[in-house]
Every structure is written in structure tokens, then in C-alpha cells.
Structure 1
Amino acid sequence: MSPTDPRSAADPQTAVHQSNVSQYFYGSVAAPHAHFGIGGSAAGAAGSRRRATGWLDAQEVDGVLASYVRPVCFPDAARMLEKDSVVVLVAQPGTGKRSGAVALLDAVAESGTGGTGGPAEYVVLSPDLDLRQLADRTFTAGVGYVLLDRMDEGRAGTADFDWRRVRDQVRAQGAHLVVTTVHGAGETAPEAVHHALWRPPDLADALRLRLRKAGCGDGTVDRAVRGLPAGCRIGEVAAAAERICAGADPDDVWREYGDSASRPVRDWFAEDRTLQEIAEVTTLAFVTGAGRRAFESYQEMLEPRLEQEFAGPPPPPGRDGDDDTPATRPRPDQLSSDQPRSDQGRSDQPRSHQRRPDRRRSLARNALVTTEEHSAGSPVRTALVFPGPQYRSWVLEELWENHSTAYWDGVRDWLTGLVGRIPDAALWMSVSSGLALLARPAFEEVSVCYLHPWASGAEGHAAQSVAVLVLWWMSQDDALDATALTLARGWAQSADPGLRRSAALAFSGPLGVRFPTDAVKRLWTLTGRDAETSLHARSALAQLVVALVESGEDAGVVLDLLVYRLGLQRRKDATDRTKGVTFRAALQVLTVRVARTFCPVVAVLTTEQPGFRPKLAELWAAVLCNRPLRGDALRSLRAALRALPQAGENPREVAREFGASVGAALPPEERELLHRVLEPPASLAPEPTTLTNTFRAALLSPAR
């Protein structure tokens, strides 16, 4: 079976289960029209989302502050932050809480109360930290800390005590902390820390400032401000302003944001719709970009599962194909109350003798459905999509608001059967992105009916992989990324081995890129569980390195952990099991390959990021000195040396410095032994032979 075959991902005993899904997400397979975040589709977001935690660089801070407009609630929150060193912003998604938190910390730093008298540095903390962990951590004087989307811990009885400890710790260490949450303080608001209701700034002022800073003329600014639709969020205003500054027409831009974006969808749902029409938009909401034949087959699979929500099966079309209108079927309030639901609205004519609905003509009349041409070589393929990427989330919201449990039971059964029977990567991507969008208005539905049963493996390994993909898409959404982290944490702590396996896979990809420190912490804990969970967790650590490298993020978070853990194994009290887990985890990181190029990731790191060479050398030295793993380590080392020309420029120089680093990390006797066993056979090509000899020579002259 090919490593890119989706069926291979269904085997939990093979290492390709994780790499396949990563390849789907990072590779050429995309989910067009997913429209995650603000101003773009998820197709591009997958590889572009940066880590959500850690130090904020100066460029990002300057970008936030340069166009920031203070809302009316800003002075009060700044005053409380200056007084208590901690403030909590109760903020709904889309209110600019991240920018507001940075601006508040900057205001306090400018006042000189931060202890430095100048601009502070900024650190974004993990939303996985609870109040007790916050109170126990160390804060650096003069640094501003932000904790976004703190989850409700449900400990109202100790909330004031916990907040008081956090406040005293931050204040005593000369730092400042801004916490944001969607959960209000409730009737018993903690007295120790002020909870401020946060509002977005005036959107027209924010738009005007951004456009003028970009040099737009007064005419463009006035027209853009006049056209600003109701219902926009601050992030949408920022995205629209960027497009207008790039030359886009304001009227065209605003059609995709706020109420302007939702109006066509709301108008369509305002009319009575048949089962067939609802099935069309439901299918498109979860299977976007499919070809005509595949789409119609998916829709045909769905329709019988929705009959419980309607008066009967879809009516047969008339001579002109236009009889599939609301008037052709009785409304629920017109039916006899004593008539069985299963018989309501059914024709006396057997289903086999009824005319099949003309799906293609009906789709052509549906205002929420259009086609686009996809060219992946030749021939061109026609795909069914929404008229705009913003339609999809609004359709899912309307479906959730307008249909009952019977409808959603049918959708659940349909999607479960779909992903279980059709091993198609593009289908998995589309279904998972649709469920992630549905999580915005209906998180409990997605969590209970899909994520938990699918992630446990109860519906098969294909559904388990799709559940992980849902979390990956959620991690690309500022409103859901903390929720995705919380879900994965719960799976990792579960007694269910299927959920633990899903947690390992979830942390190996985009969720781990978004929250790398949390991912490493959870994955390392999982390596200490049962043998199967440990295997998946070690593989996930290696895949996380690949994901971090491909995303342009710092892979040092994994390497640092392994170097530290290998150091602990030198202690006399280290058990054989922990030694085995640690050494094998290190070897997997040194062996794993980038999915798209099949190049060992260590070759990429050694070539492109020389600062990692000492850490990588320590890992190589450890596994090469471990006799049970020595053979596998030598094979991986030779593979890395052969891949240096593929990884970047100046492979001979890289091989020389690489060899010197490994030599410095090895004991003298191991250095001599490695020099002997690495002598390349005469059958090798000249270039690999040269690189190996360069590496061997450098081993004996280690850098100090």
C-alpha cells in the first residue's frame, strides 16, 4: 500500500497513520471556501498560522499599536491594570481582545509603572494554564503578559482566593498581566482582580485610521466608511482595510463582510424550502469542491436520512422539472395529528415507480450553489461550491437555527457513514472543515455527536483521523483555538486508549504548531502511558518537529525537551523503561522525514538552522552510544548525510561542521569507533562518499 493511500491511515499499528494526515493538511490537498479566520480561506491558513503563545516580536507589537483605536472602556481597564497589576477582560470573539491586551500593557509601560520606564516586552501565555498554575509560575519584572481565552474552571468557591494569589505573585515580581475570557464574573465577582466588560473600538474610526495611514485618498476613505456594513467585527474591518489599501473597490470588498455577507443566505432560508433544496445546501456545507457525479451521489445518500424532518420523500419533478416547490408537499401544521410520522406526505405510488428528481437542474436553480473550474493539468474539472467563501459559515448557522434534532441526527449518521466508507483525503478535509465551522454556533453538537465518538475510534480509524482534522481546523480559528487545546488535553488525560491516540495525533500537527509548549508537555506525558500510547506519542513528537519546520516555527521546543530528558537518563535512579522511551523518542526525531520531499528533517535543520547543530549533535551522540539502537542510528545518520545536497547549499561545509559537532558530543572511544564504521563502501556514488568522508574527518577534529 502506498504511503499516500488514505487507507493506510486506518491502520493504528503503522507509523504512517500520523504522517498521512499531516501530509493531507500541509500538502496539496486543501479545503477551498472553508473561510477560517478573517479575510481568507482555510486553504491558506493551514500553513500560515503562527504559534499562539510565547514572546511577541517587536514587529508584531508595532503592527498592533500603529493602527490601534482605543475603545471607551480602555481608560478604566488601564487604570485597574496599573493599580492591581492584573486585569481580566470579559470579551466576546471579534472584539479585539488580543490587540486590546497589548495596548493596555503598552499604556502601563509608558506610564513607567512597569518598572522599566519604557516599552515592555510581551509574552502570550497558554490558555491551558489555570489560576493555581498562574499563581505558582515566575514572572519577569518589566514584562507584560497576556493570557487569551482562559477557560472557566468551575471553582467559584475559591475564585477570589486564587485570583488574589495570582495578583500578589504578578505584583511582587514587577510584571503586569492581562487575561481575557468569554466567561463573565457572575454574581460573586472576585474582589481581588477587576473584571472589565470589553467592547470593540469604533469601527469607522478604526477603518479611517488604517486607510489614512496607508495613504488612501479622502474619496476612497469616505466611500469605504460609508459602505461599512453592520455586523462587522474588528478583525473583518482590518482585513477589509488591507484589501482596500491594495486597490480593491470598497463596494466589492464589503459584500464579503458583516450583514452584507450573510444577507443572501438569510434571504434564501427565509423562504420555505423542500427536502431536496435543504439536502443540496447541507451536502455543499460539508462537501465543498466535489465534482458533479460525486456531489449528487453524496446528496442522494443524505436525502433519505432527512425525511424525518420533512413531510415525506422529495416530490417527483413535473414535466418542466419545476415541481420541487414548497407547495407540492403539505406543511407539518396541515397534517393530521393521529397520522404516523413515517406515513405523512407519502405518495401511494411505490418509490420505485416515482420519477427521480432532476438533481442537476435543481442545483442549477439554487442561488446558494455555483460551479468553478479546477485545473490540475488536463482536463479541467467542474466543482460545486458556494458563490463566496463567506457563505459556508452562514449556511451552517442557518441550518443549525432552523432544523430540529431529527435533521441533525440524519446529518450525523450521513457524515459518519461517508467518512467511514469513502477513503478520500479531499472528502475528509472538507467534512472536517465543515464541522469546525459548525462548532462556532453549535459546539456541543460537534463535540458530543462527532468529536468524542469519532476520536475514541468507535466509528473506525477513518472517523478518528477526521476528528483530529476538526481540531486542526479549529486551531486555525482565533475563536476556537483555545477550545481545541482544551479538547485535546481532555483526550490526553482520558482512560480511553483511543482518545489518547487521537490526542497524540492532534498535538503532532497544526494544533501543536499553534501551542508548541503545551503539545510537547502533553506528548511527553503520553510517552509514559501504555506501550501503544507511548509509541504514538513518540511518533507524534517526531511529526511535530516536521510540522514546526514546515511552518517556519522554532523546533527547539522538542529538541530542548529531548536533550534535557537524555541528561536525566545519566542518573542512577533512571529506570530502564524511561531510558528506553527517551532514547527511542530521540531516534524517531532523528529519523523522521519531511512528507513532501522525503528528506530527513534533521538534514533540513542541520543545513538551514546551524544554531541547532549542537543540540542535534547531543541527540546523535546519545543514540549512537546506545548499543540496542546503534544499528538504526547509523542507518539514519547515513541517510541524513546522503540528503545534505537535497537539503540546501554547501553540503560539504555542512557535513564538516556537522561532523565536528557530533565529534565534540561523543566520548573519544566512541568517536574512533564511529569513524571506522562509517567508512563508505566503494559501491556508493562519489558525492555521498565525499560527504561521508568529510563528516568522518571532522569527527576526529571536534569543535570545542
Structure 2
Amino acid sequence: MTTQEENPPQDEPEQPEQATVDLDEDALGQTANVINNFFAGVSTRQANFGMTGAPAVRSAAGRLDRDDVERALAHFVRPAGFERARATLSERHLVLLVGEEGIGKWTSGVALLSATGFQDRITVLSPGLDLDGLLATSYRKGRVYFVHDWIEGKVENSVRRFGLDTLGTRLARAGAHLVITLNRAEARQGFEPFEIGWEPPDPLEMLEARLGRTRLTYERDGLPEEVTALRSPRQVVELAEQMLKGQPPEKIMADLCGGTVAGWFDGMPKRSEVFAVAALAFAYGMPERIFERLLVRLTAIADEVERQGAERERRSIGEELPQSRRLWNDANPLVRLSTDGGEPTVVFRSPHYREQVILQLYRVYGYGVLEPLRQWVRELADDLPEVQVQAAAGLALLARKRPDEVKESFLVPWAGGLVKERLAAANTLSLMCADDTTAAVAFTTALGWVENAGQPQAMTAALAFAGGLAIRYPGETVDWLWYLSLRGVRVSDVAQRALTLMFQAAAERDSEASTALRLLVMHLERDLGEGMEPQKARRALRAVLGVLTADRLDREESLMAWLLLSQPDSAEAIGTLWAWTLHNAYHRSDAVRALCRTLRHLGEQDGALAAAEALGSAVWSVLPEAVALLVRRSIDRACAERRVRRDSPPAKQVVLALLNAGARRISS
């Protein structure tokens, strides 16, 4: 940080660049809350979204401690190729597990690294690292590393083979080991020394591990034949859990494998019944009155598509409403009314049915059903926020099997559209992050919109980085949101708001905000330290101020005050960010007001004095002494104003704790 003398700030700061994008703050906040809850656990996804999946959505990078490893391997069954993979890992220090998504490659990778006698943790590297990035990584002796669902990129086979050879050599020299998993049908020829085609564990052995050998022997005769063909360990685990609850295996398998849904479609349901389940697949869990409205609109679009160019008398809504409720009130085998939340909502009878219905619609029907469905789902982007999110969830399920359909029919048109459509595209990318495979698709799609795709697309990417992508790829999202925050004013405005939203959401998830704050400090110090043109520097500091002045996601409480109290290790990063904004005369008055508000929110809470002192120590350790004197006076004057209650004893003590933290450096 430069040490040049600065003039005191003006009473009124200069006007910032005008925002030209009308973002619905309420919709952004509500959507962020829904997405946070969605990723909180599988029970939420099942109850509110009718979706199944992994019990916890993992960050693509980070660390797995010994306790994490023990939990993951509690009922692990080794697949057929495990010993070969372990031998390869031992000999070459590198192995790539290649196979379909959902067959247990993540757990197998953890088990292989555990078998090396790892120390205290597994370091999980980002799947976004290309081969050059993996080669540039510093590997430590005795450490083990993991890349799950690696995004390979387009590299010539000869270059890839040379790169893997070099990577293996570097790992061997470092005494480190690396396992990479790839979602690909089979291993490539010529890569046998590293790539191993992976298969799931034997399902009956998995059941034995879950139920116990005695229980399984007793039940074996009652197991449907389809059990032996299960390729998803997740399905085997669910089968075991349901059997332990006393459910008959035949009924469980029919729900798990889609037999119930396929049988219903094979029974040639009526047109009205098909559109009812189609509407529910993309508008799940809506109150009856809202679902009814949405279904009527879908039916009207289907009529228009079917009779294009023909003169017809439009039927009134009143003639259709009395009949529609029979579609879910007359013992429909797929649909039911739920009264768990008070007002009746329309849901599927099993959390598996939603995805299965979507896949059956695309398997069985053609233009007459799918085109009205496309048009209707695109319209949902302009509906209620809860409807928008449910439409995004349906598309996320469709993307598991038909990612190109989702991208071409929905994501691309929305990304170049109006504000609500861009938010719909961002929501879809966020919810795609619930699944390992579609998370990678979502990430690469957003990256494709960052540059050379148009301003609307770049703004859509920024919104997407604030959601589910920030959970899967926390490091990369800070990088890209920072980059977008320095772009032209329209993109910068959205990216800065998205950056703040990302921190608001991350603060509700353990210690993720502290890590993101340190990354933000790194970007700010690097870019301002190396020198930036004034306009970009102002955008950079405005982006930081947006984070420092933010409230928590769901309440009017200073985000920074809450972090200082709940995550004390964040004080150094928060103080460094504040020091940079306080050092700049253009932003100083705003930064001082925000700092005083944060101190007011610290108030009389336990730990307030320690938090203020830690914050002050960080600020004064960064600011040059001459600037620090000006800043200290500005804070003293601002905090004396009545609106921040400077005269109340607790607040006064908090302010003094901040100011005196640097007393050894700053004379009074």
C-alpha cells in the first residue's frame, strides 16, 4: 500500500457510475435463501423439490479430514478393479478412474488414497484445473490428492499422454499420490498405464454390508432380479434403508428403477393426465390454486400448438377448472396432495417420480407434448420466484440425461434475454450443481458466457457464480466474480451485486465466507498493488465496499459484525479489506460510515470488544501512519454522531477498542 499523504474526504462523495440493470433485490435474496436451503441436505431436496441425490453436496475443492474419510468408507465394498488401481497408484503415484457418473468413483477414490496410509487429510483439488494446472501444482511429500469429475478439456492424445507421464514423475519425486476420476464411458487406448475403466461394486455385497449377512440371507429369496443389475451404489443404499424400515423390496425397486412410472405411461394415459404430470415435473410442490393456474396455461399452449393456423373458439378457464382437480384428487398413482405445510400442495407420491416422469416424457412423446412444454417452461421465468426455482429444478433433472436440450432450448435463450430470464438461467445452473456430472456442465456453460458472448450472457454468468457454483467451485467463483466486477459498468454492476450475494450466502455455511474473504484480499492486494487505471480501481473498491456494507442474507444485521463474532479468524481479512477502502479518499467516507454501522451492530454482544480490537489491529497494521491518522479522526467524528449511538457506554467501548488497537502505531 502506498504511503503518500491524502486529502481528507469531502462531505459528499462523488457520484458512482450509474447502474443500468434493474435487479429485483427481493427476488435475488429469496432465491439465494432457497438455493442455500436446497443444498443444506437431502431431506430438503426430497420434501420441497421431489429430488433425490447425494446426502450432501460437496465442494469440488478443499480437504477431507480423517473423520470425513471414515464416514465415507463406513460400508465401503471394493469394486472388482480396486486392487489393480491400488497397484497402479502405488507404482506410478497417479491413477485415473474412468466410468459412468454415479457408480461410486468418488468413494472408490477416497478408499484408494486411504489405502496409501495417508496422514491427516486428503487434499481435494479443483476439477477445473487443466493438465498444465495440475503440473504446476506444488505437491508435498507424503500428501495425497484427489480430483473428482475432472474437466479434461480438449487436448491432443499425445500431449495428454506426455502430460500424465510428467505428472506421475513429479508426484513420485515428491512422494505424493493423486487419484483422478473421469465421467467417460471407457478408458482410452494407449492410456492403460494410468486410466482404469471403473465398474460399481456388486449390489448384493453392498446389501450385505448394509443389512448384515444374516439378514440378507433371510431376505435374498424375496429380492427382485433387478437388484443384481443395479449400477448405482446410491440406489443400493436407499434399497437397504427402506428394507430396514420394513418396506417390501418389490415396491422399493419399482420406485427406484422407474417401474411404477413407466407402467403408468405404458397404460396410455389421457392427454389431460399427461399434461398434469408434466406440469408437476416443472412446478413441483405448488399450492393447489397456483398449480391449477399453471396447468390451465400449459393446456392452452398445447391447444395452440395442436391447432396452429386453425380458427377455433377459445374455451373459458371456468369450464376447465372444475375438471382439473380430479387429475390429482382421484387416487392418481403418481400424484397426491400434501398438507404438511398447511395449504394443500400438489406433489409426487415418491421423490423418485419427478425425474422419472421427465425422462419418460422425452422418451415417449414428441413435438405435440414437448413443444408446448418448452414454451410453457420458458414462460415460467416470468412467474413467481418459487415457481421460477421449481422450473429450474425440473430442468436440472432433465440435464442429467439431456444436457444439450436444456442448454439449447432454455439456457441459451434465457441468458441473452430479459433480467428475469437471466435469473432463471442462473437458477438452473445453480441447481444443476446438486449432481456431480451436471455441476461440471453448469460450470463450463457459465465460463462460456464470461467473455465474447455478449453483455447479457456475462451478467447471467455472474448471477450463476453467486449460487450453486459458489458451493461447488468456491475458489473459481471468487476469481471470476472479481474479474467480472472490473468489466464495463453494466456487467460490473451485476457482478458486484453477485459477489456480495455470494458472501451473504457463504456466511450461512460454516467457514466458507472466511476462505472467500482471504481470496478477495489476495485479488485486491495483487491488482491494486500492481497498479490499476483509476476507473477500474474504483470499481474494485466499490465491489469490496458492497461486501463490507452488506447485511446477512435473511435479516437486517451487519454481515461483517456477524462474521467477526461467529468466525473470529475472519478479522484479519475483513480488516485488510477495510484498510484498502479507508486508504482511498474517493471511497473513504462510505467506508467510515459502513465501519461505524458494523461497530454499532457489534453492540453489547459477547465478544464485541475482542472483535473490535482484532478488526482494529488488522486495519492499522495495513494503513500507512499518515493516512491512519486521518482515518482515525474520521472514524472518531462519524461514530460520535447520534445515529450510531456513540454516546452509549457499550458502543463507546467498542469504538475505543477499535481505535486503540493501533495505539502503538498511531499517536493520539
TM-score, normalised by the number of residues in structure 1: 0.81
Q: Which residue does the alignment assign to 2:236?
A: 237
Within 5 A, what are the aligned runs for 1:287-686? 287-307=283-303, 356=320, 358-365=323-330, 366-375=332-341, 380-420=342-382, 422=383, 424-457=384-417, 460-568=418-526, 571=529, 573-645=531-603, 649-669=606-626, 670-671=628-629, 672-674=632-634, 676-682=636-642, 685=645
Q: Residue 254 of structure 1: CA displacement?
A: 7.6
Query: How far apart are the structure 1 equivalents of 2:20 and 2:395?
Result: 20
Aligned match for 2:111, one of 98, 103, 108: 103
Query: How far apart are the structure 2 equivalents of 1:254 and 1:106?
Result: 36
Letter in 2 for 1:167: G
Residues 139, 174 of structure 2: 8 Å contact kept: yes
Distance 1:293 1:11, change over 3 A: farther
Distance 1:637 1:361, change over 3 A: same
Distance 1:576 1:197, change over 3 A: same
The question of 1:38 aligning with 2:39 is answered: no
Deviation per residue, 1:664-690 (Å, 9 max, x gap): 444444244245324423565588653
Q: Which residue does the alignment assign to 2:155?
A: 155
Q: Residue 479 of structure 1: CA displacement?
A: 3.3
Q: Which residue does the alignment assign to 2:14?
A: none
Query: How far apart are the structure 2 equivalents of 1:242 and 1:10?
Result: 53
Within 5 A, what are the aligned runs for 1:203-222? 203-212=203-212, 218-219=214-215, 222=218
Q: Residue 71 of structure 1: CA displacement?
A: 1.1
Letter in 2 for 1:148: H
Letter in 2 for 1:87: V
Query: How far apart are the structure 1 equivalents of 2:27 and 2:369?
Result: 33
Letter in 2 for 1:532: R
Aligned match for 1:274, one of 260, 270, 282: 270
Q: Which residue does the alignment assign to 1:328?
A: none
Query: How far apart are the structure 2 equivalents of 1:634 and 1:581?
Result: 18
Distance 1:530 1:210, change over 3 A: same
Q: Residue 393 of structure 1: CA displacement?
A: 0.7
Q: Which residue does the alignment assign to 1:177?
A: 178
Q: Residue 431 of structure 1: CA displacement?
A: 0.8
Q: Residue 265 of structure 1: CA displacement?
A: 0.7
TM-score, normalised by the number of residues in structure 2: 0.85
Query: How far apart are the structure 2 equivalents of 1:353 and 1:371?
Result: 26
Distance 1:537 1:387, change over 3 A: same
Residues 256, 390 of structure 1: 8 Å contact kept: no
Deviation per residue, 1:503-561 (Å, 9 max, x gap): 11111122202210111122222233222222222232222222211121422333223
Residues 224, 251 of structure 1: 8 Å contact kept: no
Q: Which residue does the alignment assign to 2:3?
A: none
Residues 38, 239 of structure 1: 8 Å contact kept: no
Residues 51, 515 of structure 1: 8 Å contact kept: yes
Letter in 1 for 2:163: D
The question of 1:167 aligning with 2:168 is answered: yes
Query: How far apart are the structure 1 equivalents of 2:401 and 2:434?
Result: 16
Distance 1:656 1:178, change over 3 A: closer
Query: How far apart are the structure 1 equivalents of 2:148 and 2:622?
Result: 41
Q: Residue 385 of structure 1: CA displacement?
A: 1.1
Q: Residue 370 of structure 1: CA displacement?
A: 1.0
Letter in 2 for 1:26: N
Query: How far apart are the structure 1 equivalents of 2:327 and 2:527?
Result: 67
Aligned match for 1:23, one of 33, 43, 56: 33
Q: Residue 144 of structure 1: CA displacement?
A: 1.8
Distance 1:446 1:65, change over 3 A: same
Q: Which residue does the alignment assign to 2:73?
A: 65
Query: How far apart are the structure 2 equivalents of 1:224 and 1:699?
Result: 72
Query: How far apart are the structure 1 equivalents of 2:313 and 2:82?
Result: 68
Q: Residue 209 of structure 1: CA displacement?
A: 2.1
Residues 505, 536 of structure 1: 8 Å contact kept: yes
Distance 1:653 1:474, change over 3 A: same
Residues 146, 178 of structure 2: 8 Å contact kept: yes
Letter in 2 for 1:237: V
Deviation per residue, 1:39-62 (Å, 9 max, x gap): 77xxxxxxx634231111221111
Residues 433, 470 of structure 1: 8 Å contact kept: yes
Distance 1:673 1:78, change over 3 A: same
Distance 1:260 1:558, change over 3 A: closer
Within 5 A, what are the aligned runs for 1:80-91? 80-91=88-99
Distance 1:387 1:468, change over 3 A: same
Letter in 2 for 1:446: V
Distance 1:565 1:463, change over 3 A: closer
Deviation per residue, 1:465-524 (Å, 9 max, x gap): 111111111112233222222222222234311111111111112220221011112222
Residues 651, 691 of structure 1: 8 Å contact kept: no
Q: Which residue does the alignment assign to 1:124?
A: 124
Q: Residue 63 of structure 1: CA displacement?
A: 1.5
Distance 1:10 1:262, change over 3 A: farther
Distance 1:374 1:462, change over 3 A: farther
Query: How far apart are the structure 1 equivalents of 2:256 and 2:242?
Result: 16
Letter in 1 for 2:481: L
Give secondary structure in 1 for the equivalent of 2:457.
helix
Q: Residue 606 of structure 1: CA displacement?
A: 0.5
Q: Residue 416 of structure 1: CA displacement?
A: 1.5
Query: How far apart are the structure 2 equivalents of 1:137 and 1:656?
Result: 37
Q: Residue 99 of structure 1: CA displacement?
A: 0.7
Q: Residue 415 of structure 1: CA displacement?
A: 1.4
Letter in 1 for 2:380: L
Q: Which residue does the alignment assign to 2:6?
A: none
Q: Residue 449 of structure 1: CA displacement?
A: 0.4
Give secondary structure in 2 for the equivalent of 1:518.
helix
Higher relative contact order structure (alpha carbons within 8 Å, sequence separation ≥ 6) = 2
Query: How far apart are the structure 1 equivalents of 2:50 and 2:316?
Result: 42
Query: How far apart are the structure 2 equivalents of 1:286 and 1:152?
Result: 32
Deviation per residue, 1:582-626 (Å, 9 max, x gap): 322221221111121221211111101111112211222221121
Letter in 1 for 2:170: Q
Could you list the runs of 5+ residues in structure 2 that have no partner in the other structure? 1-18
Aligned residues: 631
Query: How far apart are the structure 2 equivalents of 1:82 and 1:653?
Result: 49
Say which is worse superposed, 539-548 or 54-63, in terms of deviation. 539-548
Distance 1:290 1:559, change over 3 A: closer
Q: Which residue does the alignment assign to 2:9?
A: none
Could you list the runs of 5+ residues in structure 1 that have no partner in the other structure? 1-8, 41-47, 111-117, 314-340
Deviation per residue, 1:257-304 (Å, 9 max, x gap): 676552211110011122211111111111112233322221221124
Q: Residue 14 of structure 1: CA displacement?
A: 6.8
Residues 64, 122 of structure 2: 8 Å contact kept: yes
Give secondary structure in 2 for the equivalent of 1:123.
strand
Residues 513, 544 of structure 1: 8 Å contact kept: no
Residues 203, 234 of structure 1: 8 Å contact kept: yes
Q: Residue 23 of structure 1: CA displacement?
A: 3.4
